[in-house]
Structure 1
Amino acid sequence: MTDTASGGPPAVTAYRWRWIALLVVLAGEIMDMLDALVTTIASPAIRTDLGGTAATIQWLAAGYTLAMAIGLITGGRLGDLYGRKQMFVIGAAGFTVGSLLCGVAASPGMLIGARVLQGLFGAVMLPQGIGMIRRMFPPKEMGTAFGLFGPIMGLSSIGGPVLAGWLVDADLFGTGWRMIFLINLPLGLAAVIAGILFLPSGRSEEATRLDLLGAVLAAAGAALLVYPLVQGRELGWPAWTFAMIAGAVAVFGVFGWYQARRQRTGGDPLVTPSLFRKRGFTGGLVVGLVFFSGMTGFALTLSLYFQLGLGYSALKAGLSQIPWSIGMVVGFVAAQALERFGRHVIHAGTAVMAAGTVGVVVTLQIAGIGMTPWQLAPALIGTGLGMGLLMAPFFGIVISGVEPHETGSAGGTLTAIQQLGSSLGAAVLGTIFFGLLGSGVATAAGHDAPELKTRLAAVSVAAADQDRIASALRACGHDRASADADEAVPASCARLEQTVRTVRSSDPAAVQRIVGTAGKDAGAQGFSDAMTATLWVVVGMLGLTFVAAFLLPMHARPEDEEENAGADPVAASV
């Protein structure tokens, strides 16, 4: 069976081992999907074990997706040049090694570095699958092959957080959170071995040289943008962080100029410049960047709120997100039935997701710090439903506005932008969340101070001591929530403990219980307030998504439906 250029028609002769090969491709998709989700559940346990700062939690998500975004720009081209089978096997092997390094990481820096390695090799592995499927299957089986992506991605989105929570709580063989990465080893080894045995060989006959300088410029611009957004808050926003952001804008400008120059001189650019003259494609980039930023930020802060704010176990936090995943799967299914409405489905999905997000805010306000997962389930179902409605038609509609010879570049660029959006979501919304947390806890402690003093007076604590304890509790709550590292006990908290131990009372043990309960309640309320403020930012981002979606074409071109069928699962797995 001869290979075709990327984007060409599938081979006429069906590949003998095509169904086994499809399972190999799906195994790679599952590994990526799970690892994109698991750290949002496991990050509190990881930080407790390895230490680090709030930025560590952000980098666990942002490092992976940023590396994925950078690598995807050239990942598909590597398959054209050197063979999709070879690149898939190399990517799966590297991803497995990265998972092993994550599982044995001894410091936050080592873990983040291993996550970046996972993302880079994942970007080599994932683009090869779609191209191989289009070569292996005859047209009459193509829909069935691509149709398996939806259920697999849906089950992964549901099972990923639950599996991560169960593995963390189960502490198998004393590994704790490390098992969320070590579980990739048998799956990755199986994918490598089966890939060698069953994937088809061959490479594109029309492959062109890599644009290495373009890749370096794109990577530099993305890194210059994301790094200061993650680290700036903890460093006090020094001048160089703003200089880096300005530098990112300049580097992306140079990247655009270089891509246009490369095309004029007969080279093959990473991104076809003519794409940016198409309103639908540029609108799709805006929609993808903003929407996936909001989605990732929502997922990260929700998981942190469940575990750090409400005190849920990792497993309970994972189970609490099942309604969201179920809503997403239902949204994907519903979008297929509503396909004829085209862009209106994206608008409807954005509106439904925004309404669901507002529903989460309302639930937080009504249920308070005693909120249960069942109370939050209706709003999460709505949020997931809107997300599924938006994501299902998105890729096909955006690609429909480009010319056939631009499809490969457009698909790779759009998917990379989605991953970059996910990285920015962890950076920007994580920074907003953690930035508001300290003041939120202090405000909640101040609000509850009269009740605290009343309860202290009931055990004969003097008024002056009541004021000292209330003031110390506010300071401790603020400093603990804003602390750069968990292992350092803020001085204000040490003073609070000393004050509680030394005050005169008819029941010293009751004083400790009263102050402990007040501190816990203030912490939960502070997390709730920070979560609420962050969610309003998400609602604003969805509003921008709604407006930007007017730039998209109304419908996907009918002749593109078969071609774009293989792209939708990739977009859905981001």
Structure 2
Amino acid sequence: MTKASTPAVSGTAGPAITTEAAGAPAAPGGSGAPGAGDGAVVHHHGSVLGPLGLFTVLLGAALPLIDFFIVNVALPTIEHDLDASPAVLELVVAGYGLSYAVLLVLGGRLGDMFGRRRLFIAGMAAFGLTSLACGLAPDAWSLVGARVAQGAASALMLPQVLATIHSSTTGHRRARALSMYGATAGLSMVAGQILGGVLVAADIGGSGWRAIFLVNVPVALVGLFLAVRSVPETRSQAPAPIDVPGTALLAASLTSLLLPLTEGRASGWPAWTWVSLAAFPFLAYALYQVERRADRAGRTPLVPPSLFQLVPLRRGLVLIVPFSIGFGGFMFVFTVALQQGLGMGAVAAGVALVPLAVGFFAASLSGPRLVLRLGSRVVALGGVLQALGLALLAYQVWRDWPSLGTLALLPGTALAGLGQGLQLPVLFRIVLSDVPAERAGVGSGVMVTTQQSMLALGVATLGSLFLTLSGTGSPHMGHALAVTLLTQLGLVALTALLALRLPRQMA
């Protein structure tokens, strides 16, 4: 595999500038078209990401993912306090997810242009302000608007995390940092629902559901203080202009897919949802043609088709699709089944996910050592463990529902968490392994957009399957949950089989 050149290290803590123009990999594909942000990568404020800087960017990675899931357990109290309809409640979730997914690649491009540290700080500040707006929202539609803005802030901040790691670390340090990113991503998605349940139940100062947003404000202030002191600046020396047609078509295509899938069920599947879904393939094809034409003409498209000629990136993204659909659907369906089917409170439902979080974290930390021995086969091993966990959960649900207890769920959730923790960090590493440092922002933006879109797609598809099978009462939820878990098991098996096609040796 081709590796990006090692960043030179500035000898001072001040604004000394170093470049890595020499030896930078050429844009893939041999077309002669420049890649996103082609040119040397400029580093200052210290060009190596230290432990405190890594902690800071991982904090920035955790916040957007936590807030994607944290709102789920608070929806009943939001509905009661703000007199929100089911369709508006769906928009509280979908508004954040849509703006987040649609703007992620643009956020990566802006980081390449104006500096990843600068965009990270701007995104962190905007995230804190929009979280405050969410927590103080006087009515449901104000909350929807604030959530859309919060998603946009997340899209500015999150792509800079992977791009900074990719541009300011190499070798073992990069592999370890990516493993920690994967652990952070997985834990954040689980911790969001656990933390949401705890904060809503605690009702701090009578804040109720508002605490799930207001808690972000002091955290964002700490993140800003640390970022100014510890995060190195990296950016392209030859920034490309914004690709307006590509940005518009990417936004239109993702919206046409995700909005009807997330809003359709609550709205009763009106005609516009089917028209929107029918338009998706045409918009996606138009995006591909416009970006390919720009790439061949020597311009820099938002999503360069030549980037997909990197085999590890292409194969890794194919694996992220079924993994993320299953993970997103599992987190939604499992929580709904525990709360509505078994009558658990928000805190108890969160506690049931603790074994999954512990297993995920332990596997993520041990992943780099296993990769040294097994290479990419770690992904297939993780698939086997996750499949065993899901099969065990499905069997327990089928046998014991509705008298199923938290302890009975522990073995299955722990095994599933171990498998997921072995897979996700390694998939991130595979996707970015051959991406040149000067294209790190676009590469990470494409990867995170794929992940985020598929998480939302999993909630919409597996969630709709579960809710359709469960009908109106909890007696049918056991059957619905078992069928949904077995459907996810099929996605896990597909991920494991595709992983066997990966080259065993990893960069």
TM-score for the superposition, normalised by structure 2: 0.83
- Per-residue CA shift, 1:230-286, capped at 9, x if unaligned? 233344434432221121110110000001100111101122213445665444333
Cα distance change, pair 148–402 in 1 and its aligned pair in 2 (3 A): closer
- Which residue type is aligned with residue 36 of structure 1? F
373-382 or 158-167, larger mean C-alpha shift:
158-167
Q: What is the rounded CA distance, in whole Å, between the counterparts of 2:425 and 2:229 in structure 1?
A: 33
From 170, 183, 208, the counterpart of 2:202: 170
Mapped pair 1:179 → 2:129: no
Number of matched pairs: 474
Map 1:101-120; keep pairs closer than 5 Å.
101-120=133-152
Give the alignment partner of residue 542 of structure 1, picking from 472, 492, 498: 492
1:55–1:549 Cα change, 3 Å: farther
Amino acid at match of 2:73: I
Structure 1 residue 93 displacement after superposition = 1.5
Match of 2:291 in 1: 259
The correspondence of residues 239-254 of structure 1 with structure 2, limited to 5 A, is 239-254=271-286
Task: Choose between structure 1 and 2 for higher RCO, CA contacts under 8 A separated by at least 6 residues.
Answer: 2
- Paired with 1:277 and 1:99, the residues of 2 have a C-alpha distance of 39
Report if aligned partners of 1:228, 1:244 keep a CA contact under 8 Å in 2: yes
> What's the offset of the Cα at 1:328?
1.0
Partners of 1:85 and 1:44 in 2: how far apart?
38
Question: How far does residue 202 in structure 1 lie from its aligned partner after superposition?
Answer: 7.0
1:191-210 CA-to-partner distances (Å, cap 9, x unmatched) read 23444466556743122112
Pair 1:555–1:246, CA change in 2 (3 A): farther
**Aligned-residue CA RMSD in angstroms?**
3.2
Between Structure 1 and Structure 2, whose CA radius of gyration is higher? 1
Amino acid at match of 1:219: A
- Please say if residues 168 and 179 of structure 1, whose CA atoms lie closer than 8 Å, have aligned partners that are also in contact: yes
Which deviations, in whole Å up to 9, do the C-alpha atoms of 1:430-470 show, x marking residues without a partner?
A: 222222332xxxxxxxxxxxxxxxxxxxxxxxxxxxxxxxx
Cα distance, 1:175 vs structure 2: 0.9
Is 1:436 matched up with 2:469? Answer: yes
Of 511, 515, 525, the match for 2:475: 525
The whole-number CA distance in structure 2 between the counterparts of 1:224 and 1:144 is 37
SS at match of 1:369: coil
CA contact under 8 A between 2:112 and 2:236: conserved in structure 1? yes
Kindly report which structure 2 residues correspond to 1:2-401, keeping only aligned pairs within 5 A, or say none: 2=17, 4=19, 14=46, 20-52=52-84, 54=86, 58-132=90-164, 149=181, 156=188, 159-196=191-228, 199-200=231-232, 203-277=235-309, 280-339=312-371, 340-400=373-433
Letter in 2 for 1:432: L
CA distance in 2, matches of 1:174, 1:301: 29
Q: Which residue of the other structure, out of 416, 420, 426, is the alignment partner of 2:449?
A: 416
Identify if the C-alpha distance between structure 1 residues 406 and 301 changes in structure 2 by more than 3 Å, giving closer, same or farther: same
| CA pair 547-110 structure 1, distance change in 2 beyond 3 A | farther
Instruction: Kindly state the Cα deviation for residue 298 of structure 1 after the two structures are TM-superposed.
Output: 0.5
Shift of the 236–36 alpha-carbon distance from structure 1 to 2, 3 Å rule, reads closer
**Whole-Å separation in 2 of the counterparts to 1:148 and 1:233:** 36
**Secondary structure of the residue that 2:71 maps to in structure 1?**
helix
How far apart, in 2, do the equivalents of 1:139 and 1:424 lie?
34
> Is the Cα contact below 8 Å between 1:58 and 1:426 reproduced in 2?
no
Gaps of 5+ in 2: 1-15, 21-36
Whether the 8 Å CA contact 1:272–1:406 is kept in 2: the answer is no
Check whether the contact 1:10–1:137 (CA below 8 A) recurs between aligned residues: no
Which consecutive residues of structure 1, in runs of 5 or more, have no partner in the other structure?
A: 439-480, 482-522, 559-574
CA positional deviation for 1:179: 0.4
Give, in whole Å, the separation in 1 of the partners of 2:255 and 2:324.
18
The answer to which of 213-222 and 112-121 deviates more is 112-121
The answer on whether the counterparts of 2:182 and 2:428 sit within 8 Å (CA) in structure 1 is no
Q: CA 1:227–1:135 in 2, change beyond 3 Å: closer, same or farther? A: closer
Whether contact under 8 Å (2:106, 2:302) holds in the other structure is yes
Q: Evaluate the alpha carbon distance shift between residue 378 and residue 214 of structure 1 in structure 2; reply closer, same or farther with a 3 A threshold.
A: same
How big is the shift at 1:9?
7.4
Query: Identity across aligned pairs (percent)?
Result: 33
- CA offset digits 1:53-82 (Å, max 9, x no partner): 555565544443332222221112212222
Contact 2:167 2:440 in 1 (8 A): no
Rate the CA distance shift 1:394–1:141 in 2: closer, same or farther, 3 A.
closer
**More deviation in 125-134 or 316-325?**
125-134
Q: Is the 8 A contact 2:166 2:437 kept in 1?
A: no
Rounded Cα–Cα distance in structure 2 between residues aligned with 1:286 and 1:208: 28
C-alpha separation between the residues in 2 aligned to 1:395 and 1:535? 25
8 Å contact kept, 1:290–1:544: yes
SS at match of 1:370: coil
Alignment CA distance shift 1:108-1:121 (3 Å): same
Closer, same or farther in 2 for the Cα pair 1:153/1:247, shift >3 Å?
Answer: closer
CA distance in 2, matches of 1:403, 1:204: 11
- Distance in 2 (alpha carbons) for counterparts of 1:20 and 1:407: 21
Tell me if the contact between 1:10 and 1:138 (Cα under 8 Å) persists in the aligned partners: no
Which range moves more in the overlay, 7-16 or 424-433?
7-16
Contact 1:3 1:135 in 2 (8 A): no
Q: Give the residue type in structure 2 aligned to 1:189.
A: L
Q: Contact conserved, 2:94 with 2:263, CA < 8 A, in 1?
A: no
* Alpha carbons 1:44, 1:308 under 8 Å: kept: no
Contact 2:181 2:425 in 1 (8 A): no
Encode CA deviations 1:503-551: one digit per residue, 9 max, x unaligned.
xxxxxxxxxxxxxxxxxxxx33233233223223212222333344345
Amino acid in the other structure paired with 1:341: L
**TM-score (structure 1 length as normaliser):** 0.74
Is residue 18–residue 136 contact of structure 1 (8 Å, CA) maintained in 2? no
- Tell whether the 8 Å contact from 2:105 to 2:449 is kept in structure 1 after alignment: yes
Structure 1 range deviating more: 56-65 or 371-380: 56-65
